[in-house]
Amino acid sequence: MSDEELKAEYMSPRDLSGHGTHVASTIAGGQVSNVSYGGLAAGVARGGAPRARLAIYKVLWGPRGSGSHAGVLAALDHAIDDGVDVLSLSLGQAGSELFETLHAVERGISVVFSAGNGGPVPQTAWNAVPWVTTVAASTIDRTFPTLISLGNKQMLMGQSLHNNASMNISDFKALVYTRSCSMQSLASSNITGKIVLCYAPAEAAITPPRLALPIVINRTMEAGAKGLIFAQYDANILDILTMCKGNMACVVVDFEIAHTILTYLDKTKNPVMKVSRAMSVIGNQVLSPMVASFSSRGPSVKRC
């Protein structure tokens, strides 16, 4: 690791990238009232075990989280010597340190690893040796239904965090279909001031939505679009909704809804659409917890 990478780093357990701080807060974060995301999902936030005591061992450094196997192993040994009860490692695609955790388990310490962020593709789970607990990321008991109105008075539902008055699409805008929203397909259509439908099942099966959506958002915003309808096999992808930032409404829909929109497009000479502001649905009406879309899935393809 270069001195340049360490210049802005904290010489303490605090991390520059925020990853470790985030993970620690999900474990022992204190109770905070009246939190929301721009007025959506209002409620109380807290960690899973607010009274837990944390011992934090920093093994990744710099904005890109660089580290070494030796650093991870040294931290494991320090944790064992300090008498921790549980070891939680939010590290992906670990190698030899997985096997070194066996001596922690032999001392009665529970070891928990992240499954990784390779989802929703199956067989992407990392850290799946028999003596550790490998966990997925999960969603919250909140959902954000967003009403989409077509020019034929048909109403459909997607999800978004579209709650900014400056992005409000209260009147109908022209609707255009640009398949995967590639640079070529966008260049062949005039999307300025229009709402764009990005619907390409074959491409969606190859590129995870958390990787595809930011690219699509940048392309459509640069081309002057007023809104984006982004189609995926599952609209309950809360973890990617925060990527929809800027001055453009962005709604995630499933393939069934997208196909309905496309059918309307094909049958209409001048198709139009408007997008309402998102609503919050909380509690028993929402299936929770569910595996987050970005979380790696099993089964593991690696052998011990």
Mean pLDDT computed over 200-224: 86
**Per-residue pLDDT tens over the stretch 144-179:** 889 999 999 999 999 888 876 555 566 899 999 999
Tell me, what's the pLDDT at 2? Answer: 64
First to last CA, the chain: 30
Tell me, what's the pLDDT at 237? Answer: 66
User: SS3 for 155?
Assistant: strand
**Per-residue pLDDT tens over the stretch 52-95:** 999 999 888 877 777 788 888 899 999 999 999 999 988 765 44
What span, in angstroms and rounded, lies between the C-alpha atoms of 247 and 221? 8
Band of residue 235 on the pLDDT scale cut at 50, 70, 90:
low
What span, in angstroms and rounded, lies between the C-alpha atoms of 174 and 132? 53
Q: Which two tokens stand for residue 178?
A: 């640009």
User: 143: burial class by Cβ within 10 Å (0-12, 13-18, 19+)?
Assistant: buried
Q: Which two tokens stand for residue 97?
A: 């340190």
**Per-residue pLDDT tens over the stretch 17-31:** 888 888 888 889 889
**Per-residue pLDDT tens over the stretch 112-150:** 988 888 777 788 888 888 899 988 888 877 888 899 999
Domains assigned to the chain = 3-139 (3.40.50.200), 145-279 (3.50.30.30)
User: SS3 for 195?
Assistant: strand
Q: Which of 263, 260, 237 is nearest to 250 (CA)?
A: 237
Pair 157, 126: CB distance under 8 Å: no
